[in-house]
Structure 1
Amino acid sequence: MGVSGVGKSTIGQLLADEMNLPFFDGDNYHSKHNVEKMSSGESLNDDDRHGWLSTLNQLIKEQLKNNSCILVCSALKNKYRELLSDGILNEIEWIYLFGDFDTIYNRINKRKNHFMPSELLKSQFDTLEKPTNAITCNIDNSPKEIIENIKKELMKKSEFGLLGLGVMGKSLCINLSNNGFKISMYNRHVDGVEEHVALKFKKKHTELSSALPFDNLEEFVNSIQKPRKIMFMVNAGKTIDAVIENILPYLSEGDIIIDGGNSNYNSTKERFEYLKSKNIHFIGAGVSGGEEGALKGPSIMPSGSREAYKSVQPFLESIASHDRNGLPCCAYIGPEGSGHFVKMIHNGIEYVEMQLLAEVFSIFKATRKTPDEIAEVLEIWKKDVDSYLLNITIDILRKKENNDWLINNILDKAGNKGTGNWATIATAELGIPSTLIASSLFARYTSSFKEDRIKANISFGNNDSSNIKIDLIDLLNAYQFARIINHYQGFKLIEEASKFHKWNLNLSEIARIWTSGCIIKSDLMAVLVEVFKKSKSILINESIKQQLQVLRPSANKLVSQCILNEIAIPCLSESVNFLNTYTTADSSANLIQAQRDYFGAHTYQRTDDDSGKFYHTNWKN
């Protein structure tokens, strides 16, 4: 494309010959009316061009049924290019030839037997709206140089783009490259702070030899094949929205954005609808596994339109971890924000699993065991309760620094990045008793009040638990018991959210993609894959019911001992409390309902009336 006289036909024919493709000159498809109008020195208006451009659009569509083609056309305005691209936007690559007015004017005057007079050139320059997504070629270069430049630019196009080169982003780049994909990498440019991040990263890693580094957003987008597939690995929240707004001017209809961060699922739903209105696909993908998982194979939880997922499926499934059957730990979760919701609950389960191990650690410390001794016991536990978190806990406990265990020198204030908060809010909003997630979150909050805890210890924490006698079998059984309750609550929350949002989530498939690559992978998770094929509830599975019945006495005993010895075990104790509450057929909630009716006339139902009718009583009489 370009103004008349820029050399479109010459370059187009040469390129077609070079690439062995059919060649079409758009000027040959003008109507007789258009030719006569231009020959008389009169410019075409938009109505004149509409039929011509529609004809060319149909021509391209016919060619695409077989292969491809080279077409030359002035296409000066953006709306002309949109008409040419109608229905085939992602099949088109624009090549924009440009030069100065005088050079082109002289060329037109030298042409013979062409209906376009040089007097119309100024109107073409006035009409021209330069394209933002095109290979640009200066006509001051020779035709051979222009052809070589076009071929070079076409070959440079990458298959996949990754935006945001933090720890996770860099690891995913290496993972993608190791799986044979040609990628483009982008990181923002901030003078004196973040300069040439992508280029420096590429130079450090031979695996990235074919990767294209950028700190210019427009160049990054234009380097990717259409429909573009771009994964964001940036901080959740306002940063995502800012990046979306910055990148939108350079995107084309049908392009796909993947948010691989820990975004709130409600925000993902909003972004999905916003970008849908602009004909851009948005996929919210939970990614678990940390730095190592991102590098070697994470668990990936993508959601959005199924059509968009099919386009990115080869990339995401290739970089994902694989389960014991060789299947990728990546699967289409469901519509809109369901992928980020599932990742949020993954993190909620993770919070509890970490807290349970911390409580086990506290109990062992109370019995005066050293970190090495605790690690030895946990090593033995692996045959019964193997998991990623158990294994890293063993490594942590064995790590020494200056002849002391490093764990002894780590401040006991646990942080959080939001997903535990969101999971707790979600369980409250949906009315689901995921009590362990809330307990683990509040345990972290409590840990942050270090100074207050020191003062409270002086006043209340003088109990000596050194004489506590803990049966190791009871402790192992209580730990297993609490983990089963944790997984029940987490998957129950996913199931109820699926019903509420009409997501139709597959619990067995979710458990399967959590068997490898993610933080909560474990032998228990592998068992749940089969459990959820037959039932949506862990607690009605016969094998797990029997296991809980065996483990329950040990859990009761351990929790009692810890409470009597004033050892903080919020999640171990809550697992016992939850099952006690859940298995109480006639609870004390009738008194609460009576109290609500007394002070607020909230009404109640009666056990001696199965009609469902609601009653109110005047309690003062």
Structure 2
Amino acid sequence: MGLEKIYIICGVSGSGKTTIGKRLAELFNIPFYDADDFHPKTNIKKMSEGYPLNDEDRTPWLHKLAEEIKKWNSDRGAVLACSALKQKYRQVLQSIDAEYINWIFLDGNYDLISKRIQARENHFFKKELLTSQFNTLEKPEQGVIIDIDKSVEEIIHEIELKLKTQVSQLGLIGLGVMGKGLSKNILSKGFRLSVYNRQVEKKEVDIAKKFVTEQESQKVLGFDQLQPFVISIKRPRSILLMVNAGKSVDMVIEGLIPFLEKGDCLIDGGNSHFKDTIRRERLLSEIGIHFIGAGISGGEDGALRGPSIMPGGSEKGYELCGNFLETIAARDKNGNPCCSYIGIEGSGHYIKMVHNGIEYAEMQGIAELYHLLRFYVKKNPEQIADIFDSWRKKGKDSYLLEITADILRKKEEDGFLIDKILDKAGQKGTGGWSTEAALEIGMPLSTISESVMARNLSGIKSQRVKASEVYQLESSEILEDESMFLKDLEKAFLAASILNHHIGFELIKQASKEYNWDLNLSEIARVWTNGCIIRSDLMEHISALFKENNDTSLIMFPEFITIMKSNIDSLSKIVSIGLTSGCSLPVMSTAVNYFLTYTSAQSSANIIQAQRDYFGAHTYQRVDALLTEYFHTNWKD
């Protein structure tokens, strides 16, 4: 059994310690104890005769209570009513970790408490001793301090509210799919958590309260108002935002600001644009609030069991929240958290954006291979799943390949479920952001950009159906050697995947230079080895290689040079067969084109430069002149 909370209600006699203590014990469903019951008979006799206790009288009594507190802490917890008038008395009672004791001081003036004592019956404490208690009293500076000049119900409500300021170690806003999963993950790791969800009539009603009632843990508090939610979190606060990217994040931040204090930290765990993250961090830093933009990948299951987390922004902010994030993250093969401080500004969300871009292209590539196998080789979904599983056993395993095999085996009634799914792919925007970000810094993003365009093209279903009816294209390719085709297909899959990852990491490397982020590619790849959607055997190799050299391009490492040399012909062959058989292969063909251009000393770009100079006098450089020199030609003469 774990350690439980002890609530010590202190104050002079007549302040209401017993009444309030019993009510709190009922509220928390734990035992109530009155410290007076632990006095030795000599102390009780002395007080009943009108003589005040001295420190010699109190010492054994306080030590007895301290021992009892240890027992209660290891059992169910407890509420203890004890005067504890001096700081040194409270120090004796503090026999357990301060984290497990809540001090509640009932504060009232002499006249009010004197009237209360006069109204008592059958109590050994005499009014004459009250002056002595006030003279002895050293009001505590920490803990919950309550003015008792109000009703019992009001006192209990105020204590309950103020106690929450000491309960939660972390706050989370937004109980959607990811928010709920992460909340359960946080609670499973033993953290005390406060959750908040907005109230929207007929749409989102009592979401936080319902979540709390569904949990077995008693370490979670639910709120539908921001102020008590913020109050409930231990300072300096760490609050994780799991809301939709865009205006929603700004609205939540705006609502939080009035209740936050300098040194608090906000963590945006959604898919926000990295430039929005930079803007928000700068805005909040001006008022002393730390801000972290944390990319979180892994979907619903990853959120619950351990995602990959990519936090960037305030380094001091990460010092506050890093322990929480690293504890709930997935673990790599060495047991280290798949969470690491990425770098300054919006680098964390930038890395998540590129992650999603690589994810788009990997998904599209696998979909293209499925399409070839289904409609050219004429394999059924279950046979294709067997092929994918065989690749997984040969060092080409990935989460996306694994789930695709599962998808292809899923049946519904008389057929495969995959055949009943409409071929229109959705997207949330991060793939497109990657393309825009690459254009801004002049980087090619071939496979990733093409995968975004493929999704866009899939969306015009009605036009595609009409075009299909008009053209009625037929395959001119005949499969002659299925065994050889499948070997080439496996090689093509590996080559295209390597090129896609290379393209993604090239963008990261250039962004690191462009924005002065000093990113560690090996560490980024390591964070992606578990928990995230693009985890794979390949990612393990990439992390190890970048550890040797952070500046080398992926396909320029000797290991990958060897692999690409032995696999690129198969990729070219598969693309050729696919296109002549009528199967669209946008990512696979783009991967080949990228590689052929990347490895060509002479490209066709000299024609483009000449064209630009012809119609726009944009000038050009010459191979037989200095690179600092530019030329213009009158092309008609």
Range into which the TM-score falls when normalised by the shorter chain:
0.7 to 0.9
Structure 1 residue aligned with 2:195 = 185
State whether residues 186 and 213 of structure 1, in contact with CA within 8 Å, keep that contact through their aligned partners in structure 2: yes
Aligned-pair CA distance for 1:310 = 1.1
Structure 2 residue aligned with 1:572 = 588
| 1:410 counterpart (417, 421, 443) | 421
Summarize the Cα distance change of 1:136–1:596 in structure 2 as closer, same or farther, 3 Å threshold: farther
Structure 1 residue aligned with 2:286 = 277
Structure 2 residue aligned with 1:512 = 526
Matched, 1:305 2:319: no
| 1:490 counterpart (483, 499, 504) | 504
Aligned-pair CA distance for 1:456 = 0.8
Code of the residue aligned with 2:175 in structure 1: it is L
Matched, 1:164 2:181: no
SS in 2 for 1:181: coil
After superposition, residues 82-481 of structure 1 pair within 5 angstroms as: 137=147, 139-141=149-151, 149=159, 153=163, 156-206=166-216, 208-366=217-375, 367-384=377-394, 385-464=396-475, 467-469=478-480, 471-481=485-495
SS in 2 for 1:437: helix
Code of the residue aligned with 1:509 in structure 2: it is E
Aligned counterparts of 1:222 and 1:563: Cα–Cα separation in 2: 62
SS in 1 for 2:266: strand
Aligned counterparts of 2:473 and 2:384: Cα–Cα separation in 1: 24
Deviates more, 1:288-297 or 1:426-435: 426-435
Aligned-pair CA distance for 1:415 = 0.2
Aligned-pair CA distance for 1:142 = 7.5
State whether residues 97 and 139 of structure 1, in contact with CA within 8 Å, keep that contact through their aligned partners in structure 2: no
Aligned-pair CA distance for 1:605 = 1.1
SS in 1 for 2:294: strand
Summarize the Cα distance change of 1:504–1:607 in structure 2 as closer, same or farther, 3 Å threshold: same
State whether residues 307 and 532 of structure 2, in contact with CA within 8 Å, keep that contact through their aligned partners in structure 1: yes
Structure 2 residue aligned with 1:530 = 544
Aligned counterparts of 1:369 and 1:395: Cα–Cα separation in 2: 16
Aligned counterparts of 1:620 and 1:94: Cα–Cα separation in 2: 91
Aligned counterparts of 2:567 and 2:251: Cα–Cα separation in 1: 51
Aligned counterparts of 2:146 and 2:618: Cα–Cα separation in 1: 71
Aligned counterparts of 1:587 and 1:558: Cα–Cα separation in 2: 23
| 2:579 counterpart (548, 563, 569) | 563
State whether residues 146 and 158 of structure 2, in contact with CA within 8 Å, keep that contact through their aligned partners in structure 1: no
Aligned counterparts of 2:354 and 2:157: Cα–Cα separation in 1: 53
Aligned-pair CA distance for 1:361 = 0.6
Aligned-pair CA distance for 1:162 = 0.5
Aligned counterparts of 1:379 and 1:190: Cα–Cα separation in 2: 45
Structure 2 residue aligned with 1:549 = 565
Aligned counterparts of 2:446 and 2:600: Cα–Cα separation in 1: 16
Aligned length: 513
Structure 2 residues without counterparts, runs of 5 or longer? 1-9, 22-85, 88-101, 117-130, 132-143
State whether residues 14 and 147 of structure 1, in contact with CA within 8 Å, keep that contact through their aligned partners in structure 2: no
Structure 1 residues without counterparts, runs of 5 or longer? 1-7, 19-68, 71-92, 108-112, 114-133
Structure 1 residue aligned with 2:97 = none
Aligned-pair CA distance for 1:403 = 2.2
Aligned-pair CA distance for 1:610 = 2.6
State whether residues 507 and 532 of structure 1, in contact with CA within 8 Å, keep that contact through their aligned partners in structure 2: yes
Summarize the Cα distance change of 1:221–1:609 in structure 2 as closer, same or farther, 3 Å threshold: same
SS in 2 for 1:201: helix
Q: TM (normalized to structure 1)?
A: 0.78
Aligned-pair CA distance for 1:466 = 7.7
Residues 377-406 of structure 1, C-alpha deviation per residue, up to 9 Å, x if partnerless? Answer: 111111231000000000000000012100
Aligned-pair CA distance for 1:563 = 1.5
Residues 520-566 of structure 1, C-alpha deviation per residue, up to 9 Å, x if partnerless? Answer: 00000000011111233112100100100000111111111111122
Aligned-pair CA distance for 1:461 = 3.8
Residues 461-511 of structure 1, C-alpha deviation per residue, up to 9 Å, x if partnerless? Answer: 421368334510000111111000000000000000000000000000000
Aligned-pair CA distance for 1:191 = 2.6
Aligned-pair CA distance for 1:150 = 7.7
Aligned-pair CA distance for 1:363 = 0.3
Structure 2 residue aligned with 1:37 = none
Summarize the Cα distance change of 1:472–1:135 in structure 2 as closer, same or farther, 3 Å threshold: farther
SS in 2 for 1:620: coil
Residues 173-212 of structure 1, C-alpha deviation per residue, up to 9 Å, x if partnerless? Answer: 1100100100001111123322211111122221x32201
Aligned-pair CA distance for 1:618 = 1.8
After superposition, residues 605-616 of structure 1 pair within 5 angstroms as: 605-610=621-626, 612-616=628-632
After superposition, residues 577-592 of structure 1 pair within 5 angstroms as: 577-592=593-608
State whether residues 468 and 565 of structure 1, in contact with CA within 8 Å, keep that contact through their aligned partners in structure 2: no
SS in 2 for 1:258: strand
Residues 88-140 of structure 1, C-alpha deviation per residue, up to 9 Å, x if partnerless? Answer: xxxxx9999999xx999x99xxxxx9xxxxxxxxxxxxxxxxxxxx9765522
Q: TM (normalized to structure 2)?
A: 0.76
SS in 2 for 1:559: helix
Summarize the Cα distance change of 1:513–1:442 in structure 2 as closer, same or farther, 3 Å threshold: same
SS in 2 for 1:391: helix
Aligned counterparts of 1:519 and 1:150: Cα–Cα separation in 2: 42
Aligned counterparts of 1:262 and 1:182: Cα–Cα separation in 2: 25
Quote the RMSD (CA, aligned, Å): 3.2
